[in-house]
Structure 1
Amino acid sequence: MSLFKRRRFPVEIILLCVRWYCKYGISYRDLAEMMSESGVAVDPSTIFR
């Protein structure tokens, strides 16, 4: 079973957020702002979950 089953966002977007969060220590709010600049509307609490 896939860990990404029933997720709203594509796997690539999820992995990109996780990579940036782990590598650069970016806050969830900053990460959500960066994603919105890329055209992906995501709430910081969604990234946290």
Structure 2
Amino acid sequence: MPFANSAPKTAELLKDAELTVYPGAPHGLFGAHEQEFNTDLLAFARA
């Protein structure tokens, strides 16, 4: 399923969902994208 067809709709259907897009990031979120993702994930979990 293409991201554009699934991610926004999934975030819309799930209560309290938050869709964050990392432009240019690979599927595995390595390197700098990994650090950004971890920071965002911890902030979300603490909220």
Q: Normalised by the size of structure 1, how large is the TM-score?
A: 0.31
Give the structure, 1 or 2, with the largest relative contact order (CA under 8 Å, sep 6 or more). 1
Larger radius of gyration: 2
Q: Normalised by the size of structure 2, how large is the TM-score?
A: 0.32
